[in-house]
Amino acid sequence: MYTDTVFLSATTTPFSYFPIVLQLLAALGFVGITMLATHFLGPKRKTSDKLINFESGIEQHGNARQQVAIKYFLTAILFVLFDVEVIFFYPYAVNFKELGWEGFMAVLMFVGFFLCGFIYIVKKGALKWED
What Cα–Cα distance (Å) separates residue 50 from each residue in 47, 59, 115? Answer: 5, 14, 54
**Pair 104, 110: CB distance under 8 Å:** no
- Comparing CA positions, the residue from 42, 116, 31, 44 lying closest to residue 82 is 116
Domain residue limits, the chain = 2-53+67-124
Q: What global pTM score does this model have? A: 0.43
CATH topology of domain 2-53+67-124: Methane Monooxygenase Hydroxylase; Chain G, domain 1 (1.20.58)
Mind listing the pLDDT tens digit for each residue in 15-64? 888 999 999 999 999 999 999 999 999 878 888 877 777 666 677 677 76
